Amino acid sequence: MAETEEKIEVWCAGDEWCPVTTTARIIGRKWHPVIVHRLLESGPMGFNDLESEVDGISSKVLSDSLDDLEEARLVDRAIISEKPFRVEYSLTERGADLEAVIEAMAEWGETHLVPVEDESASVL
C-alpha cells in the first residue's frame, strides 16, 4: 500500500479481531467481492460491461455497490472524455490488494461448496 494513502478509520475497542470484522463489513456485502473479482480479472470496465459480467445484479444494486466501494476507496470512477462520455471503473491500489483475499474465498468455496440442484433450496 502506498505510504501516502490514507488508512480507513474504524472504531474498535482494542479487540484483536477488529481488522477482520471491519474488512468483512467493507467487502462482505453480497456483490462487493464479485465486483472486485471481476475488476481483478478484466481490469477497468464501463458500467454496462460490469453489469454484464456480474450475472444477476440489477443496475440499481450495482450502482449502489460501486458507490460503497468507491467510498471505501477500493474502486475508482473515472469519466472518460469521449462523446458521448462514459464512466470507467477500476480498482485502486487498495482494491487490488484484496486479490489474495478474493482468491482465498474462491479456493475455500471450491473446496467446501457444491452447487445445489434446486436453487430455491440454497441455505444462503
Q: Does some domain include residue 8?
A: no
Q: Does some domain include residue 10?
A: no
Q: Does some domain include residue 4?
A: no
Q: Which residue has the higher pLDDT, 41 or 25?
A: 41
pLDDT(22) > 60: yes
For 46, the domain range is 18-108
Q: How many domains does the chain have?
A: 1
Percent of the chain with pLDDT strictly greater than 70? 85
Q: Does some domain include residue 69?
A: yes
Q: Does some domain include residue 1?
A: no
| Omega prior to 33 cis, within 30 of 0 | no
Q: How far apart are CA 89 and CA 116, in angstroms?
A: 33
Q: 91 pairs with which residues across the strands?
A: 75
Q: Does some domain include residue 104?
A: yes
Q: Phi first, then psi: give them for residue 61, nearest 5 degrees.
A: -65, -40
Q: Does some domain include residue 113?
A: no
Strand 45-46 to 75-80 pairing: unpaired
- Range 8-11 contact pairs with CB under 8 angstroms and sequence separation of 24 or more: 8/72, 8/73
Q: 80 pairs with which residues across the strands?
A: 86
The per-residue pLDDT for range 28-84, each reduced to its tens digit, is: 898 999 999 999 999 999 999 999 999 999 999 999 999 999 999 999 999 988 788
pLDDT grade, residue 1 (50/70/90)? very low
Sign of CA dihedral 70, 94, 43, 99: negative
- State the CATH number of the domain containing residue 24: 1.10.10.10
